[in-house]
Structure 1
Amino acid sequence: MAGSSSSSVMLAVHEKKTVTVVDLYGPLRRYISQNYSEREALDLEEDLHSLRQMRSDVEKAASACDARRDLLQAYYRALCATESRFPISAEQGHVNGVTFTWQDAFKPSRKCAQPNIHLEKAAVLFNLGAVLSQIALNADRSSSDGHGLRLACGSFQSSAGAFAFLRDHVAPKVGSPATVDISPEAASMLERLMLAQAQECFFEKAVSDAKPPALCSKIARQVALYYEEAHLSLNAPPLNQHFDRTWISHVLLKSAQFFAEACYRMALHLHEKEEIAEEIARLKSGISALTDAKRSAKGVAAPLLDATSKLEANLNRNLDRAVKENDRVYLMRVPSPDSLPPLPAATLVKPTPMDGFLDASGEKLFAGIVPDGSAKALSRYTEMVDEIIRKQAERLQQGSEITRVKLKEMDLPDSILALEGNSTLPLDLKDDVEAVQIVGGPAGMDAELQQLRDLKRVNQEMLVQVEELLQKESREDAQFRTQFGTRWTRPQSSTLTKNLQDRLNRFAGNLKQASESDARIERAVKEHMALMSILDQRPIESALPSLARPIMSLDGNEDAIVGALKQSLRQLEALGAQRAGLEDILKEMKRKDDILPKLMATTGSYDDLFRKEVSKYDHICEQITQNIEAQEQLLLQIQKDWRIISKMNNMDMRDRLIQRKKE
């Protein structure tokens, strides 16, 4: 069975040409000197010269493609750094005197000129896509080691990525009038064209490696779909009156060629399965597509016509063979090509993301200039991060506090120590006892209470004295106003003493609250005076009643529960240590979180950048959530075990009381 070879004819894009020499140095230097300082302008001389040299190199005739690609990428990053610091436009107060002028790549007689850096960026991106397409076209796809085919495929995908980046990020910002070649429609068409040619490289590889016909058919079908999409764009405004007819004919014939290739390869697969009727229909469908396209395609390259003619011959030869076999052997009804299900397609290519190549966040050009807008944006981002840190720190602290409170309610871990004969006071209670003992125990507390009563009396006397003075001053003011009338020009007493009166009222309110608090304390001390006598004992543990050892007899089951409780407490302690570590990680992340270079390189929405940057805290926030959830589950288990132990303890105490009564 004869095979079909794909055509080597592919398309590359020519670069746009800039019409005039653009002076970036002078206008930018004047702007820096006027809006910052002459010293800043002197410090940035080297950067200004570098930018001017890159622009000059871009204006020159194309050098080697690889070097040209690197230059265009570097210049685009430099433009992003320039744009984020210096507003270039005709508006007052902006960088004036810079006009970018570029020809249309497909109709050089048309050009546009704007004082708009987005036009310059769009032209550079277009030329980057063009150079990458030239690198792909110049690759030797027939090399035995496959390096040329891989280079071509990768470069076509990179070219598609450049045109996609132009369409999505820059073309919409170019003002009017602008040339058609940098419109979103043109960029989208060129992206589809480059993807078609990248997928075509995969098809060539699959055929040379003798891959199964069904797989080759799927790859070829996707090539055809990409060419179909490009052809639709070329026949719709604003592109339908812009491109040379040979381009349109080329894309149309390529689309038909690879649809026919898909039919041809699928027919080979069907022949192997002896599905002759569908094989015949697929072959007819491919022949029909080629016939229609060749009739409409004018001016295409001779090698492409030769390739389609060879493919058509193979289709006809296999069709004749299949028809004869069906007439002699199978006698199957041949379905109409229109009734066949669509051929399956397999997408093996995609536009190469250009963010890494065009990211200006690491650009050193004009790094010393930080516009006010970027500084404010950085402050806003810092507030967002601070809010995340604050909320997570509160969650961590709340988690630790919940653990402390719940353990205290169960008297853990001290009650476990008591069960083992190690009776001691909890540390916080022991600190409180020592504080009372330092002031003299119960007697010292009586002295403290008497001092509070004395201070209350003194404060009440001072309050009354001040109130009397203010009232006296008010009466005198009223008397003089009556006596002197309009000659008494001093402001009213109520105005002059308002602040004093407000402070006096607050003082009176505070004094009342303090008195009520003192009274509650004094009642509590009197109610517990008998118990407080043990505070005179040193050490305090000597006055505590000792627990009988053991409170309960720990059989095997009870011992296991206590052991599990101890293990849970150790796990709870480990979670607490983890929380402390997570808080340290959060603080360290914030310390290292410097997004100013990315802010300076951002020409789009700061909100998009903020969302992306803040998302790096999601992982640590999720760890905090997992820690807190694990702690909640552990506390539930500890409470369950402790209830069991408490129940056993109560039963043991009851049994002892009953035994004592019997005795």
Structure 2
Amino acid sequence: MAKPLIGYIKATYRGKNVEEAVAFATKKHKERLEFTSSLSTIQKKKSDLNAVIAQGYSYYSYLRGLQARFRIAKSKAGWGVTLNPFASKVVRLQFTWTDSFNAALTFTSYDIEHEKASILYTLASVQSYIGLRIRRENAEEIKQALHAFQGAAGMLDFMETTQIPRITTPKSGDMHPKLLQLVKTTMIAQAQECVFEACLPNSKLSKAVLASVAMGAADRFKHAYDLACGFHANQWLAKCRYPWKLHLQHKMLCWQSAAYYHLSRDTMEREEWGEEIAILNKALAIIKRARALEKPMRGGGWGQAKKYVALDSNEETARNLEASVVKRLKKANEENEIMYHATVPKESTIKVSNPNPKP
């Protein structure tokens, strides 16, 4: 990107302005290189993510400044567009990015609007990683993670509704509307997880409310999973090494099971013993379906299981939930046989209300 811009500056600028402009363009080019380099080493070096985000915003502002000052071509041979009516000469800039889902794929564009969209996409991914990296062990950490996921979703929404329509040239495959919706919905689902975690310690909330919030998370993950199973997303995710579809399905089932588990606690408090057993049976059946996905997610036999850090906590949560359901179900059955003799209704009659509207 730097060479054509610096060449244009040297050909059109005069006096001290040349050195200053060249130095500034070189600095911003290095900033982009540092930004993309930081992204590739985030997990390995535990980079300062706030500094990475600041770099991204700074570079994004620089791109907007270029649009206001120069006539920038949108293609290799295009005439270019500008907000500056006095910019007569064309600057052709080239931007290359790696695909978000498959590191083996690269895409090159001359459209600065595509570059801006790529920066927003990347900033959203960093925001998401901030949310994932927070341990969420107290109310403040849960709040920080919630804001990170909401920020990522908001950035993707702006990108989808405002930035992408400005791109009039071919777009990279990872900017397909269905893939953007998939990623955005996943961010919203993770934000809903944080909402549940924030509600959990609140003793004033009923178990039925907790069940509803948990089912809200399940429905968000279901929406993301349905998008992942769509034609374009499915074709694109097939090129990705990470088991996206299985991960989303696993999360969906875990949250469904959690919703029924908390609903069972509500029926226990209301002394509806038969309903409690039916609900626990349903929760157990669902969590077993989730646990059955864990081996395929790792890619085959346990001896050759792939190490995906993001899956570790999910599997631990699933194990703990299954243990809680099994423990309470065993006790509930024993109590019902000895004391209550309540009729256990069919599982098909059990439902959890969802406070969230359908996407």
TM over 0.5: yes
TM-score normalised by the chain length of structure 2? 0.78
Structure 1 distance, partners of 2:188, 2:106, is 28
Amino acid paired to 1:207:
L
Q: Is the 8 A contact 1:180 1:239 kept in 2?
A: no
Change (3 A) 1:140 1:103: same
Show the counterpart of 1:135.
Answer: 130
3-state SS, counterpart of residue 133 of structure 1: helix
Q: Is the 8 A contact 2:131 2:144 kept in 1?
A: yes
Q: Percent identity?
A: 24
Q: Is the 8 A contact 1:168 1:184 kept in 2?
A: no
Structure 2 distance, partners of 1:245, 1:135, is 19
Q: Which runs of 5+ in 2 are unaligned?
A: 39-46, 81-89, 299-310
Structure 2 distance, partners of 1:72, 1:306, is 34
- Tell me which of 179, 183, 187 is aligned to 1:190: 183
Change (3 A) 1:246 1:209: same
Q: Which runs of 5+ in 1 are unaligned?
A: 1-20, 348-663
Change (3 A) 1:81 1:275: farther
Show the counterpart of 1:26.
Answer: 6
- Tell me which of 100, 105, 113 is aligned to 1:110: 105
3-state SS, counterpart of residue 240 of structure 1: helix
Deviations 1:181-205 (CA, angstroms, capped at 9, x unpaired): 2222222111111222222122223
Amino acid paired to 2:162:
H
Structure 1 distance, partners of 2:29, 2:273, is 63
Show the counterpart of 1:77.
Answer: 61
Structure 2 distance, partners of 1:178, 1:88, is 16
- Correspondence 1:368-447 to 2 at 5 A: none
- Residue 309 in 1 paired to residue 319 in 2? yes
Deviations 1:131-185 (CA, angstroms, capped at 9, x unpaired): 1112222223225xx3322211111111111122222222344456533322222
Deviation at 1:117, TM superposition (A): 1.0
Structure 2 distance, partners of 1:218, 1:24, is 57
Show the counterpart of 1:240.
Answer: 234
Structure 2 distance, partners of 1:269, 1:103, is 49
Show the counterpart of 2:271.
Answer: 274
3-state SS, counterpart of residue 243 of structure 2: helix
Deviation at 1:100, TM superposition (A): 1.1
- Residue 228 in 1 paired to residue 212 in 2? no
Structure 2 distance, partners of 1:321, 1:259, is 22
- Tell me which of 154, 162, 167 is aligned to 2:160: 167
Structure 2 distance, partners of 1:72, 1:256, is 36
Structure 1 distance, partners of 2:135, 2:319, is 24
**Structure exhibiting the larger radius of gyration computed from Cα positions:** 1
Structure 1 distance, partners of 2:93, 2:66, is 13
Show the counterpart of 2:303.
Answer: none
Structure 1 distance, partners of 2:103, 2:2, is 19
Q: Whose RCO is larger (CA < 8 A, sep 6+)?
A: 1
Deviation at 1:324, TM superposition (A): 3.9
Q: Is the 8 A contact 1:193 1:230 kept in 2?
A: yes
TM-score normalised by the chain length of structure 1? 0.44
Q: Is the 8 A contact 1:189 1:233 kept in 2?
A: yes
Deviation at 1:326, TM superposition (A): 4.0
- Residue 120 in 1 paired to residue 120 in 2? no
- Correspondence 1:21-60 to 2 at 5 A: 22-23=2-3, 25-26=5-6, 29=9, 33=12, 46=20, 49-50=23-24, 52-60=26-34
Q: Is the 8 A contact 1:285 1:337 kept in 2?
A: yes
Amino acid paired to 2:257:
A
- Tell me which of 329, 338, 341 is aligned to 2:348: 338
Report the number of matched residues.
320
Amino acid paired to 1:89:
K
Change (3 A) 1:67 1:108: same
Structure 1 distance, partners of 2:92, 2:7, is 6
Show the counterpart of 2:213.
Answer: 219
Change (3 A) 1:326 1:159: same
